[in-house]
A and B are shown apart, each in its own frame.
Chain A
Amino acid sequence: MLKIGNHEFSSRLLLGTGKYPNFDIQKEAVDVSATEILTFSVRRMNIFEASQPNFLEKLNVSKYTLLPNTAGAKTAKEAVRIAKLAKASGLCDMIKVEVIGCQKTLLPDPVGTLKASEELLKEGFTVLPYTSDDVLLARRLEELGCHAIMPGASPIGSGQGIINPLNLSFIIEQTRVPVIVDAGIGTPSDAAIAMEMGAAGVLLNTAVSGAKDPVIMANAMRLAIEAGRLGFEAGRIPKKRYATASSPLDGMSIS
């Protein structure tokens, strides 16, 4: 069970809803992924094209826990406003805090992330900050009372996988709330490695929505995350420098 604040989930895959080829493929990918948490963004409506269908209408959103993000925010203040807008929908109390500090790398602004998280915790949100893989920042966010810590594996949408496994392992080791690896996952093996390292979950979007076949990739990610988690729970063998025979050496008739 993945427990975030007062919420409990059997799936450890958190899936984004951005940039699918169309709503039908998105719906199928979401179904196949078996995710229970969907992320999305908050934006101004185009009131002159109000008849355009919205992705919420295509998905049975009551089946999912909704995790809005504060994407687009460059400051803590903007992030807090977006979070409050999302909550006013009455559909969710969780928020993925995302304060972007650099438009080229989309890396999070650590100071803004910390400030926004503190403010939103005071307001009673269930707070999941998207953060860099800085070990001390992760600790500070946990000390504030954040309900999960979400370090990026590598820059958003880059598909580079886990570029700093050492830092990620330090964060997982020290953190008592769930650590969810967010952003930068490219392939199922990236997700499996994160889970084998002991991450509580993986949040991804582009790896599925941008795949040649998003539906098959959604299934692959589901399986990878389950396999990685089982591998973690089973406990891997230590790495050794030399071979150890798996067949017995005794009782050999030929010598």
Chain B
Amino acid sequence: MKLTVNGDHVEVPNSVKTVAGLLVHFELHHKVVIVERNAEILEQAKHTETLIFDKDKIELVHFVGGG
């Protein structure tokens, strides 16, 4: 499955079905990650139920230092 993640084209195994699965794939599941799928911002609780499909555009954002 081909996705655009943070502007980069990436290929993920077809076994990755959900947003939660994608975070496990990238080893991000223990971190605070906010996900936007095709310009829709997802609440944390939606990660498990939200399916991902070929050609989806995913944004993964997090908190960084700032004032």
Answer yes or no: do A and B interact.
Answer: yes
Q: A18-B66, A71-B66 are in contact. Are A42 and B41 (CB under 8 A)?
A: no
Q: Which residues of B sit under 8 angstroms from A50, Cβ to Cβ? A: 26-28, 31
Interface size class of B (residues with CB under 8 A): 20 to 34
| A63 nearest CB across to chain B (Å) | 15
| A137 nearest CB across to chain B (Å) | 21
Contact A85 B67 (CB under 8 A): no
B21-36: CB near A (< 8 Å → 1, else 0) gives 0000011100111111
Overall SS of chain A's interface: mixed
Q: Which residues of B sit under 8 angstroms from A85, Cβ to Cβ? A: 34, 36, 41, 61
Number of interface residues of A (CB under 8 A): 40
Residue of A at shortest CB range from B60? A45
Measured in the bound complex, the distance between the Cα atoms of B66 and A47 in whole Å is 20
Q: Which residues of B sit under 8 angstroms from A232, Cβ to Cβ? A: none
Q: Which of A87-95, A113-121, A237-245 sits within the interface?
A: A87-95
Q: How many A-B residue pairs have CB under 8 A?
A: 102
Measured in the bound complex, the distance between the Cα atoms of B66 and A85 in whole Å is 16
Confirm or deny: A43 has a beta carbon within 8 angstroms of a beta carbon on chain B.
Answer: yes
Q: Which residues of B sit under 8 angstroms from A151, Cβ to Cβ? A: none
Q: A54-B62, A89-B34 are in contact. Are A47 and B67 (CB under 8 A)?
A: no
Contact A86 B31 (CB under 8 A): no
| B30 nearest CB across to chain A (Å) | 9
Q: Which residues of B sit under 8 angstroms from A47, Cβ to Cβ? A: 5-6, 8, 10, 26, 28, 60
Q: A50-B27, A85-B41, A88-B42 are in contact. Are A17 and B65 (CB under 8 A)?
A: yes
Measured in the bound complex, the distance between the Cα atoms of B43 and A100 in whole Å is 27
> When A and B form their complex, which 9 residue pairs have the shortest distance between CB atoms, in order from nearest?
A16-B67, A205-B67, A41-B66, A17-B65, A18-B65, A18-B66, A45-B60, A90-B44, A43-B64
Residues of B whose CB lies within 8 Å of any CB of A are 5-8, 10, 26-28, 31-36, 41-45, 59-67
